């Protein structure tokens, strides 16, 4: 059946909140047809993790082309925190699209762009005077944060950390740690990017203070502060494995950066917008970044990203130095205003903490019976379990992959991550109900036992 003949399926929270694989296995026939067309039309370099084509989503479920209903533990990689096809966001998008789809912020301002900037200046950590610029993707935000830091300091070197993920553009590939699949074959990379050891309590056993001292010593010896414009760090590393640094690590690094005149850039692309139980993860570590990059959860699924920072830093590039055709598109801005309103008035940060507590409790119970779960970590609705060989502690990526593949066949969308690929991660929409979470954890427990 051509997709134009399918009845219009409305997504959002009114979708039945249930897990149901009516086709028995995935992909069902309608998904299979789309996947086959995809293979002929789309570059094979774009891999797809899931064996189904999505047509609608909302609350805590994703509906596929065959009408199967899957529990969403991924939110499209931490994007639809406010819920997919949220009615208020959908309304704001429709109204804005019917009025003005594009103006180009470099040509003429529009109120929604300014309002998003005001909201970010108000909501990001710190009471100092701030400015914001909008972009379309997380990588673009990180890249522009580095541009701003270089313009402000007149220095060029940038430090990123082990296990970091910052994007797929040339500069952000250089900042990203993992070679395969992100970097291999795509060099040469931009010069003057250096990698420092991070804090990884499960693997390095260091206190935050010791890990910071190790990182700072590494930076001072290998880079030198005279040429260092910025350190770029995810407060909780996302793609690298949901690694929560040991207490004190980020504080020490931020204090050292301030003392050295180095711009401290927090990449909160994955951790931002209520995901970790506070509006931004930096708050939980008591740090006030000079510059903060955001994207993903900012606009309920519409492509929008931002760089927010100290006014003197953000105003350092010459007029015209920052921009882009689509950055801060009016439809994306309208979506962001509705989304940010939902975070602020809908108690979603509190809900993230409840989700985190439920997930941690259920995972702890599973791990008490299964030593292959080596570590459970994260904050709020950004929780992960690291799978290891119990005898050696070696990462077990094959198990993570098999578990995710088995769970999706049972109707649970489970993502993996980690430098070694051996981490299962939980990033449900904050609109998911406890019943779905419990059901998903039952499935995961059952499938894990059988593997």
**Helix, strand, coil percent values for the chain (each to nearest 5):** 40, 15, 45
In the DSSP assignment, the letter for residue 144 is: H
Of the two residues 65 and 174, which places its CB atom closer to ligand PLZ in the complex? 174
CB of 182 to ligand PLZ, least distance (A): 7
Output the smallest distance, CB 281 to ligand PLZ, in A.
10
Which candidate, 41, 42, 70, places its Cα nearest to that of 58?
70
| Smallest separation (angstroms) from ligand PLZ to the CB of 14 | 29
Comparing CB distances to ligand PLZ, the nearer of 270 and 416 is: 270
Task: Report cis status (omega within 30 of 0) of the bond before 206.
Answer: no
Q: Which is nearer to ligand PLZ, 186 or 224 (CB)?
A: 186
Q: Which CB atom, from 84 or from 270, has the smaller least distance to ligand PLZ?
A: 270
**Which one, 166 or 310, has the nearer CB to ligand PLZ?**
166
Q: Which is nearer to ligand PLZ, 77 or 123 (CB)?
A: 77
As measured in angstroms, the least distance from the Cβ of 137 to ligand PLZ is 4
Provide the minimum distance between the beta carbon of 296 and ligand PLZ in the complex, in angstroms, as a whole number.
Answer: 6
Query: To the nearest whole angstrom, how small is the minimum distance from the Cβ of residue 392 to ligand PLZ?
Result: 28
Q: Which of 335, 314, 321 is nearest to 265 (CA)?
A: 314
Cα dihedral value 81, 87, 88, 89, nearest 10: 60
DSSP 194-221: EEE----HHHH---HHHHHHHHHHHHHH
Nearer to ligand PLZ, 147 or 166 (CB): 166
What are the structure tokens assigned to 289, written together? Answer: 């970044």
3-state secondary structure of 368: helix
Q: Which residues make up the interface to ligand PLZ (CB under 6 A)?
A: 77, 137-139, 142, 165-168, 234, 238-239, 267, 269-270, 295
- Which residue, 32 or 183, is less far from ligand PLZ as judged by CB? 183
| Distance in Å from the first CA to the final CA of the chain | 37
Question: Would you list the DSSP string of 211-271?
Answer: HHHHHHHHHHHHT-STTEEEEEE-SSBTTTT-BPPPTTHHHHHHHHHHHHT-EEEEE-TTT
| DSSP 3-state of 416 | strand
| Least distance in angstroms from the C-beta of 100 to ligand PLZ | 24
Nearest approach in angstroms of CB 371 to ligand PLZ is 30
Angle at the Cα of 205 (from 204 to 206), degrees rounded to 5? Answer: 90
- Run of H or E including 229: strand 228-233
CA 118 to chain centre: 22
SS3 305: strand
**CB-closest chain residue to ligand PLZ:** 138
* Residue listed under structure tokens 């894990």: 448
The two three-digit tokens of residue 130, written as one number: 């701030």
Between CA 446 and CA 410 the distance in angstroms is: 10
Sign of CA dihedral 281, 286, 288, 289: negative
Cβ at position 48, least distance to ligand PLZ in Å: 11
Nearer to ligand PLZ (CB atom), residue 19 or residue 426: 426
The CB-of-77 to ligand PLZ minimum distance in angstroms stands at 5
Question: What span, in angstroms and rounded, lies between the C-alpha atoms of 57 and 361?
Answer: 27
State which residue, 142 or 291, has the beta carbon closest to ligand PLZ.
142
């Amino acid at each position: 059946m051509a997709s134009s003949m399918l009845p219009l399926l409305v997504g959002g929270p009114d979708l039945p909140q249930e897990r149901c694989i009516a086709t028995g296995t995935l992909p069902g026939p309608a998904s299979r047809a789309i996947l086959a067309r995809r293979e002929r039309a789309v570059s094979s370099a774009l891999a797809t993790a899931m064996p189904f084509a999505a047509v609608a989503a909302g609350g805590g479920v994703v509906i596929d082309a065959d009408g199967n209903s899957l529990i969403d533990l991924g939110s499209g990689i931490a994007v639809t925190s406010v819920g997919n096809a949220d009615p208020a966001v959908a309304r704001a998008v429709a109204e804005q699209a019917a009025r003005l789809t594009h103006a180009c912020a470099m040509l003429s301002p529009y109120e929604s762009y300014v309002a998003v900037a005001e909201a970010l200046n108000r909501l990001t950590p710190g009471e100092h005077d701030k400015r914001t610029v909008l972009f379309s993707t997380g990588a673009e935000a990180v890249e522009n944060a580095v541009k701003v830091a270089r313009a402000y300091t007149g220095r060029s070197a940038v430090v990123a950390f082990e296990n970091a993920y910052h994007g797929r553009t040339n500069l952000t590939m250089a900042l990203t740690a993992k070679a395969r699949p992100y970097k291999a074959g795509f060099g040469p990379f931009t010069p003057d990017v250096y990698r420092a050891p991070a804090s990884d309590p499960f693997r390095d056993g260091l206190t935050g203070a010791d890990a910071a001292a190790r990182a700072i010593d590494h930076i001072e010896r290998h880079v030198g502060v005279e040429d260092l414009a910025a350190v770029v760090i995810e407060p909780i590393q996302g793609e690298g494995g949901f690694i929560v640094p040991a207490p004190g690590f980020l504080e020490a690094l931020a204090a050292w950066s301030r003392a050295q005149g180095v711009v401290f850039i927090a990449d909160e692309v994955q951790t931002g917008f209520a995901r970790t139980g506070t509006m931004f993860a930096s708050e939980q570590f008591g740090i006030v970044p000079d510059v903060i990059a955001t994207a993903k959860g900012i606009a309920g699924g519409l492509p929008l990203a931002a760089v927010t920072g100290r006014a003197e830093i953000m105003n350092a590039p010459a007029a015209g130095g920052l921009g882009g055709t689509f950055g801060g598109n009016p439809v994306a801005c309208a979506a962001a205003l509705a989304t940010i309103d939902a975070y602020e008035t809908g108690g979603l940060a509190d809900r993230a903490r409840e989700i985190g507590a439920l997930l941690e409790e259920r995972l702890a119970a599973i791990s008490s019976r299964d030593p292959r779960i080596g570590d459970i970590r994260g904050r709020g609705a950004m929780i992960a379990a690291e799978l290891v060989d119990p005898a050696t502690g070696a990462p077990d990526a094959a198990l993570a992959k098999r578990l995710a593949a088995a769970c999706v066949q049972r109707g649970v969308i489970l993502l993996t991550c980690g430098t070694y690929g051996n981490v299962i991660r939980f990033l449900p929409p904050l609109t998911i109900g406890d019943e779905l979470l419990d059901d998903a954890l039952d499935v995961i427990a059952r499938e894990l036992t059988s593997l």
